[in-house]
Chain A
Amino acid sequence: MIRMKNIRILIKNIRDGLKNIVRNFSLSLASISCITVTLLIVAVAIIGSLNVENFTNVIRDDFTIVVYIENDCDDKKENEIKGEIQDLSNIESIEYNSKKQIADDMKKESQIFDTIISSWSESENPLYDTYLVKVKDSDKISNSAKKIEKIDGVALVKYGEGMIESLLSIFDIIEKILIVIVVSLIIVTAFLIVNTIKITIFSRQEEIEIKRLVGASNFSIKQPFVIEGLFIGLIGSIIPVLVTIYGYSTLYEKTGGILFSKFIKLFEPFPFVFIISSVLIVIGVVVGMFGSSRAVRKYLKI
């Protein structure tokens, strides 16, 4: 019986919440646009920051040490070197790339290379045989590289060196800045919503006063406003969700999932866009409800 009553009250409050959005349409629209704009920026920031995170991981995965082997080493010696590298800790995999192979690959790359390289005889090939060594923990790559360099028969080792590391730290900074922007935007929006809804509530002070006089509890005064906030959040997230779903999948299609360089791979759009959309809806709804409940508090005697 009591449950039945509560359900009826909830239904009535949902109806009232919707009615109020329509009734105070211009003010509701202000709140809704507020949420829409924020969520759009939040969407870009989240998608950007997650992809940066992704790039970072892709780059980390790609961390490879190129080990150049002295030209006077024979196959047996090369195998010994391979064994020594394998014995080191932090080694994920080793792949052999002969200088002939490298020359062939280069030939394919351009006409000029082709002409030059084709003129070399077997013994004239100035390139080195190489091992491409992947490490398990990219943070310890320089340590591993040093150890490999000391192995007898190794002419030279090369890896991303400073360049990739500084790229990573730049990505790290970008990510942190994006997080700060997202969080501050959400907070600013929440307070904008509080103030916008306060204006609508201001014109309904009398209604609240009358409700209190006839025996409305704080909860039952608050509920329609909070529900209104929920709907404002929901409506405000429609455009950002559509932009996320269609915008991101279009971007992915147009670029083939690769941005700027092959290092920067985008997430597959599905289910990525749905996860982002859910996050946007949750943020919109929570901000809307929080805003309304803060705004109405002033008119309650607690």
Chain B
Amino acid sequence: MEFIRITDVEKTYPSGVTALYGLNLKIKKGDFTFIIGASGSGKSTLMKMLYREEKPTAGEIIIGGVNVAKLKNRKVYKLRRKLGVVFQDFKLLPKLTVYENVAFVLEMFGYDKNEVRVKTLKALDLVGLKEKVKSYPSELSGGEQQRVAIARAIVNAPKLVICDEPTGNLDPDTSLEIMKVLEVINNLGTTVIVVTHDRDIVNKMKKRVILLDKGRLKKDFEKGTYDKNEKH
């Protein structure tokens, strides 16, 4: 069952830079997929098109039956509510506590206080941060901050979680911890896409790996490690 189907997608920015050329890709429901490639190879551009921060110049991006490429700007929020996004810089709100950083999403959607509490605590429990609900982001380590961001991404039970270099700011041990958290989420049925630079992690996780090179899909390793001699 394919969940995401990318067909002949091309992206040229208004500046004239083409970030992606004729990309074709299918991702199955419940898959865990790594996207790797050198800096500037178009990984973030691809992610941005999945959560519809950017529109492809050509081609189709179907997510759960909807062509996201055609989505109007003012309708984008409907897509975003069904997916979670995680970034290298966490993007937490510094004036809010851990609990509030996760809960505000649900509050914004109008859930009642009790529902908000139950779902927020469940998400924070899943990432192992139930003890830190009252802390502020500045009082947490990088790994803990990223786990708050992951809790926020999954709190509304999305079908898809998109992570753009979630471990880019973290040390190797912490990075692996984050990947394990994402794996747990994946095991609960969520489709997970992770952009990363980190070869070791990719090799350890034994998941599907897609290699981008200068805006083109270079390799698609169905399972496990990718060729160690491959330069990217």
Q: Give chain A's interface residues, CB within 8 Å of chain B.
A: 4-6, 8-9, 12, 23, 206-207, 209-218, 220, 301-302
Given contacts A212-B76, A214-B81, A217-B77, 12 further A-B contacts (CB under 8 A): A5-B109, A12-B107, A206-B91, A209-B91, A210-B91, A210-B93, A211-B108, A214-B152, A214-B153, A218-B74, A220-B77, A301-B74
Residues of B near A216 (CB, < 8 A) are 77, 108
Residues of A near B51 (CB, < 8 A) are 213
Closest to B92 in A: A210
Judge whether A301 and B73 touch: CB under 8 Å.
Answer: yes
Residues of A near B77 (CB, < 8 A) are 212, 215-218, 220
Judge whether B74 and A302 touch: CB under 8 Å.
Answer: yes
Interface residues of B in 48-81 (CB under 8 A from A): 51, 73-74, 76-81
Judge whether A9 and B108 touch: CB under 8 Å.
Answer: yes
Closest to A223 in B: B108
Query: How distant is A213 from chain B, measured CB to nearest CB, in Å?
Result: 5
Interface residues of B in 186-201 (CB under 8 A from A): none
Asked if B110 lies at the interface with its beta carbon under 8 angstroms from chain A, I say: yes
Report how far A297 CA is from B95 CA in the complex, Å: 24
Residues of B near A206 (CB, < 8 A) are 91, 93
Given A211-B108, A214-B105, A301-B91 contact (CB < 8 Å): no
Contact of A6 among B73, B91, B110 (CB under 8 A): B110
Closest to B75 in A: A217
Interface residues of B in 95-128 (CB under 8 A from A): 95, 105, 107-112
Closest to A214 in B: B105
Q: Is the interface of A mostly helix, strand, loop or mixed?
A: helix
Residues of A near B81 (CB, < 8 A) are 214-215
Judge whether A301 and B76 touch: CB under 8 Å.
Answer: yes
Contact of A214 among B73, B74, B80 (CB under 8 A): B80
Contact of B91 among A23, A213, A302 (CB under 8 A): A213
15 cross-chain CB contacts under 8 A: A6-B110, A9-B107, A23-B95, A210-B93, A212-B76, A212-B80, A214-B152, A215-B79, A215-B105, A215-B108, A215-B156, A217-B77, A218-B74, A301-B76, A302-B74
Residues of B near A211 (CB, < 8 A) are 108
Asked if B85 lies at the interface with its beta carbon under 8 angstroms from chain A, I say: yes
Query: How distant is B180 from chain A, measured CB to nearest CB, in Å?
Result: 24
Query: How distant is B206 from chain A, measured CB to nearest CB, in Å?
Result: 30
Query: How distant is B132 from chain A, measured CB to nearest CB, in Å?
Result: 19
Query: How distant is B12 from chain A, measured CB to nearest CB, in Å?
Result: 19
Report how far A209 CA is from B80 CA in the complex, Å: 12
Residues of A near B156 (CB, < 8 A) are 215
Query: How distant is B156 from chain A, measured CB to nearest CB, in Å?
Result: 8
Closest to A301 in B: B73
Residues of B near A8 (CB, < 8 A) are 107, 110-112
Residues of A near B95 (CB, < 8 A) are 23
Report how far A6 CA is from B108 CA in the complex, Å: 10
